Amino acid sequence: MSLFNPWVILSLICAFLGFGYESYLIGIKHEENRQQLEIAALNAEARDTEQRMAAVAQTYAQTLRKTNDVAKIKETRLRADIASGEHKLFVSIKAPDCPIQAAADATITSGNTETRAELNRGIAEALINITSRGDQAIRQLNVCVDQYETMRNAK
């Protein structure tokens, strides 16, 4: 039997191809295992980040709830004071031109020279509604911005 026998050469080629294919399959399995471990580690890190962000969101939600409760108490107190007449809302107005001239030597006894008009209770109530909704929106926006900054810096 000679080394240059075609059957010997063919069997050696088949053995090398079989060994190469088996090595290739083992390499694929190792790569799949490595990728699965990496995916598991990244998923664990993502879950941890998600839990931290959820805790931050919960904290800011509680802060907003407390701030809104305090604001609601103040608003309710203001509404009650206006309804009872204890507080009154005024608006500055332009004094009408008066054809009668005051005497030059007349002195003003009060230090307040502003011309004001009292708002009726319905308008005062509407004004309080508008300002309370605006204040609530501003509080929500501020909490949203703070929460965003906290989460962005936490990464």
The pLDDT mean for the chain works out to 86
The torsion angles phi and psi of 91, rounded to 5 degrees, stand at: -130, 140
| 107 found inside a domain | no
What is the model's pLDDT at position 3?
A: 63
* Residue 105, in any domain of the structure: no
Question: Does the pLDDT of residue 142 top 70, yes or no?
Answer: yes
129/30 Cα distance (integer angstroms): 66
- 86 band by pLDDT with thresholds 50, 70 and 90: confident
- The pLDDT of residue 118 is 83
Choice between 95 and 141, residue whose per-residue pLDDT is larger: 141
Window from 4-8, 30-34, 111-115, 134-138 with minimum mean pLDDT: 111-115
**Domain that includes residue 48, residue range:** 6-93+114-154
Q: Tell me whether residue 80 is in a domain.
A: yes
DSSP string, 114-142: --EEEPPHHHHHHHHHHHHHHHHHHHHHH
Question: Within a domain: residue 109?
Answer: no
Residue 71 in domain: yes
Q: What pLDDT does 112 receive? A: 56
Task: Provide the number of structural domains found in the chain.
Answer: 1
Chain length of the chain: 155
Share of the chain above pLDDT 70, in %: 85
Instruction: For 100-138, write each residue's pLDDT tens digit.
Output: 665 555 455 555 566 888 888 888 888 999 999 999 999
Residue 25 resides in a domain = yes
Q: What is the pLDDT of residue 39?
A: 97
Residue 21 lies in a domain: yes
Is residue 104 situated within a structural domain?
no
